[in-house]
Structure 1
Amino acid sequence: MATDYDTPRKTDEELHEESLEELKAQRADAQSGQVDIDEAEAAENLELPGADLSGEELSVKVVPKQEDEFTCSRCFLVKHVNQRVRGEGPKAVCRDCD
């Protein structure tokens, strides 16, 4: 169940005021015979406001691997040599993957 963090939080007094019957009714509603919605299908039809990025292009300058860097054999990220824990060349492993 999703949590809406923007809603005001209840005080301790308000929490104690909820009756057992209200809680049971909420539980019964949650367990009703409602069919689950396929999340992947729902996400395809979801449009975020201002999120039309179809005309945008991403331009990034790619810098080749430097002499003081290595590629981790587990995560395949390029790291500085001071991040290498063990191995040399293609068998080098970074500190995060060790």
Structure 2
Amino acid sequence: MAQDYDEARPDVAEASERTLKDVQKMDAPNAKSVQSDLEETDLSEGQELPGAIVLDELVVEIVPRADDEFICGECFTVRHRSQVASEMNGVKICRDCGY
């Protein structure tokens, strides 16, 4: 007698059908319920996080450009004169941006 090996076995078919029915019975959350749960549990409002800078002024010391430095005409960063790759019409270009 020939046997069809591609046919699902009855015990496996019943188990997968039972599992599908169990999943369908579960009370799965939808997008609206998840959104409302997230809004209810948002505890970050009004609290400071450890290590966070809140209402503090940042103090930055500005150092003027030295005589041996230039500003790249492409990336606008201050570079040492040894980083000049090219100069066109008085505009210096650094090695990183070089033509």
Report the TM-score, using the length of structure 2 for normalisation. Answer: 0.45
Kindly name which structure, 1 or 2, has the bigger radius of gyration based on alpha carbons.
2
Report the TM-score, using the length of structure 1 for normalisation. Answer: 0.46
